[in-house]
Structure 1
Amino acid sequence: MTEVPKKSEPSLRETFRAFEKNLGFKNDIKWPVAISIILYHLFGIYWCYHYALPVKWQTVGFAMFMFLLSGFGITGGAHRLWTHKSYKATLPLKLFLLGAFASAGQNSLLQWVRDHRVHHKYSDTEADPHNANRGLFFSHIGWLMLKKNDQVLARGKQMDMSDITGDPILRFYNKHFAYFKLMLCFVLPTTMSMLLWGENWRCAIAWQCFLRFLIMFHCELTVNSLAHAYGYKPYNKNIVPSENRFVATVTLGEGWHNYHHMFPFDYKAAEHFDPFNWCTYFINFFRSIGWAYDFREATPEMINATAKRLGDGTPVHNPVDITNSDY
């Protein structure tokens, strides 16, 4: 009598793949990353509920300062300087921006710049790392939890990254980025709160490792999600990115996204001057002391012609020379 072979139990990987297929995901889930992100948020809620209060005013003020510093590292550094090369910076400013970017706890500068360049070239297509047409959750944070599809990977390999990989300072920075991120985003800010004004270590962790870090993290992600879902389109009604004042406010000036996708080289990332475009304030400060130079801007003629030809009819404002303004 022939013995019927027993069916082997599915492996953990096969079980996860079956679960992903049932959920209808186009990409495999990066389970270690997805679980880490979810647990970090849940643990952060628990920790802040128990330890964020009472808090010293210095701790709150320092968390706000770190929010601005890390935000500037993303907007003024990774985005406007290294991704779009909308201005040039001296060595002291570059080092300052590299430290500020590390304090934001993002992916490495090389990964950030590559993904954002792909996003602009193939915006809201299957080759876009955070394609907004796949839903608000995916474009906000879901894309970080899933493996990139073949088109995103292929286009990423085609990006010219020689300006990043060919710079010896940036090569060293990217090679040791995990260390810089750990120290400048988590260890040093928390330790400073404890040593300089005697904050309780649990409270210091709550405000630096969870509140400040996660609020900035999600503010930055709204550019990929909310600014691709809500707003008006005075410069090109045929693309997904929109002008979104809320996003512009929480990201220090990055929410004028319809304009930015039409004129990504403009260092202001906006046509009109917005009082909450703090990143442009910062850049212009360094311009005034000679640390930033060779600025690129779209001309009023270029802007008006584009808006007249492609815009949705929403009134636009001519650029303001904020370098010499009273702001």
Structure 2
Amino acid sequence: MTTESRSVLRLPLDRINWITSSFLIGTLLLTLTAVPLYLYHFGLDWFQVALFCAMFFACGFSISLGYHRLFSHITFKASWPIRLLTLVFGAAAFENSVLMWASEHRRHHKHVDHDDDPYNISKGLFHAHIGWLLFKLNADQPYDNVPDLQKDKLVCWQDRHVQWIAVVVSFGLPSLLGFLWNGWQGSLGAFLIAGVARIVVLQHCTFLINSACHAIGRQPYSTKCTARDSLLLALFTFGEGYHNYHHEFQHDYRNGVKPWQFDPTKWIIWTLSKIQLARGLRRVPAAVIQAAQRERRLV
């Protein structure tokens, strides 16, 4: 048993985040038991696959494009319909409100790999991936690093109603569409597949950024922290796998800065700018990027 595992087992019960732990473990158990049972008895049709994909990409891009690059790092500005959509479907990812998400993420960048980093990889892969959510190892932090978001009326609206938005959009919407497609059987299938299973898969894609993206890959821009670039992880994280670049140049709307690098989020942001739904896209000058690469090669 590892030192990390022994320390987790010694945690007092009041350090367990019971609500979050119950949800994360409960949805995982449902995915591993109820979903296979449903598929065994009723099978899988194209509508359920399409609904899973639609919800997965709507919520996933809302986290990557909205929660992360728009609200946490302000790498571009978006029109209110885009902001509203990312807030609604971001809530449906069940990753808390954007106010809390951005506050934790900005703290991660400020204190990366140190004790005040909420998902500090130095405490182990398990902690960085999901342990920091299951256990309350640090005191709750104030929202003193998101004063800009606290002035945003849409952000504050989402923060007040995030639980209801999440339940209605994540479970109610798929269940209703499934019922319209195939009655109660379709509703149950949509609830389990496009609701529960989709949440589990998407959350662990997000968690990979905090864990694997600090352990797997190359460091072409900086060795100041553990963040790494990985095409493989970019495929599962909507382009967020180029994490070494992101930590070195966090205010660039691109993570995959090379034109050929797989970063669908940057392509969507660029497309939105061409149809006047986004503006002010922030880019690090090529000379600055090249200087970082040259310095890295000299180390």
> What TM-score comes out, normalization by structure 1 length?
0.83
1:68 match: 57
2:157 match: 172
2:146 match: 161
Q: Does 1:134 align with 2:135?
A: no
- Asked if structure 2 preserves the Cα contact closer than 8 Å seen for 1:237 and 1:312, the reply is no
Shift of 1:34: 2.3
Report the Cα distance in structure 1 between the residues aligned to 2:224 and 2:97, rounded to whole angstroms. 32
Report the Cα distance in structure 2 between the residues aligned to 1:50 and 1:311, rounded to whole angstroms. 53
The structure-2 alpha-carbon separation of the partners of 1:22 and 1:61, relative to structure 1 and needing over 3 Å to count, comes to closer
Specify the SS of the correspondent of 2:210: coil
Q: Does 1:248 align with 2:234?
A: yes
Shift of 1:191: 1.6
Q: Does 1:49 align with 2:36?
A: yes
Q: Does 1:144 align with 2:133?
A: yes
Shift of 1:200: 2.4
1:205 match: 191
Report the Cα distance in structure 1 between the residues aligned to 2:246 and 2:25, rounded to whole angstroms. 31
Q: Deviations over 1:270-323 (max 9, x none)?
A: 22134632212221221111010001011110001112113588xxxxxxxxxx
Q: Which amino acid aligns with 1:51?
A: Y
Report the Cα distance in structure 2 between the residues aligned to 1:294 and 1:24, rounded to whole angstroms. 49
Q: Deviations over 1:132-156 (max 9, x none)?
A: 0111111001110111414xx4xx4
Report the Cα distance in structure 2 between the residues aligned to 1:312 and 1:100, rounded to whole angstroms. 44
The structure-2 alpha-carbon separation of the partners of 1:160 and 1:212, relative to structure 1 and needing over 3 Å to count, comes to same
Report the Cα distance in structure 1 between the residues aligned to 2:7 and 2:227, rounded to whole angstroms. 30
- Asked if structure 1 preserves the Cα contact closer than 8 Å seen for 2:100 and 2:143, the reply is no
The structure-2 alpha-carbon separation of the partners of 1:237 and 1:300, relative to structure 1 and needing over 3 Å to count, comes to same
Match of 2:266 among 280, 290, 293: 280
Q: Which amino acid aligns with 2:104?
A: D
Q: Does 1:115 align with 2:107?
A: no
Q: Deviations over 1:177-206 (max 9, x none)?
A: 111111111111222122145552332222
2:70 match: 81
Q: Does 1:192 align with 2:181?
A: no
Shift of 1:36: 3.6
- Asked if structure 1 preserves the Cα contact closer than 8 Å seen for 2:75 and 2:253, the reply is yes
1:308 match: 294
Match of 1:183 among 168, 175, 181: 168
- Asked if structure 2 preserves the Cα contact closer than 8 Å seen for 1:242 and 1:258, the reply is yes
Larger radius of gyration: 1
Q: Structure 2: which 5+ residue stretches go unaligned?
A: 1-5
- Asked if structure 1 preserves the Cα contact closer than 8 Å seen for 2:213 and 2:227, the reply is yes
Quick one: percent identity of the two aligned structures? Answer: 30
- Asked if structure 2 preserves the Cα contact closer than 8 Å seen for 1:118 and 1:159, the reply is no
Report the Cα distance in structure 2 between the residues aligned to 1:177 and 1:83, rounded to whole angstroms. 17
- Asked if structure 2 preserves the Cα contact closer than 8 Å seen for 1:58 and 1:197, the reply is no
Alpha-carbon RMSD: 2.2
Q: Structure 1: which 5+ residue stretches go unaligned?
A: 1-19, 314-327
Shift of 1:98: 1.5
Report the Cα distance in structure 1 between the residues aligned to 2:181 and 2:267, rounded to whole angstroms. 29
Report the Cα distance in structure 2 between the residues aligned to 1:135 and 1:118, rounded to whole angstroms. 18
Q: Which amino acid aligns with 1:46?
A: T
Specify the SS of the correspondent of 1:297: coil
Structure 1, 230-239 or 203-212: larger mean CA deviation = 203-212
The structure-2 alpha-carbon separation of the partners of 1:69 and 1:274, relative to structure 1 and needing over 3 Å to count, comes to farther
Report the Cα distance in structure 1 between the residues aligned to 2:202 and 2:90, rounded to whole angstroms. 12
- Asked if structure 2 preserves the Cα contact closer than 8 Å seen for 1:238 and 1:310, the reply is no
Report the Cα distance in structure 2 between the residues aligned to 1:308 and 1:22, rounded to whole angstroms. 42
1:321 match: none
- Asked if structure 2 preserves the Cα contact closer than 8 Å seen for 1:33 and 1:145, the reply is yes
Structure 1, 25-34 or 242-251: larger mean CA deviation = 25-34
Report the Cα distance in structure 2 between the residues aligned to 1:82 and 1:258, rounded to whole angstroms. 20
Q: How many residues align?
A: 291
> What TM-score comes out, normalization by structure 2 length?
0.90
Match of 1:37 among 7, 24, 49: 24
Report the Cα distance in structure 2 between the residues aligned to 1:95 and 1:77, rounded to whole angstroms. 9
Q: Deviations over 1:79-135 (max 9, x none)?
A: 000000000011121112212212222111111010000000001110000100111
- Asked if structure 2 preserves the Cα contact closer than 8 Å seen for 1:234 and 1:312, the reply is no
Report the Cα distance in structure 1 between the residues aligned to 2:175 and 2:34, rounded to whole angstroms. 14
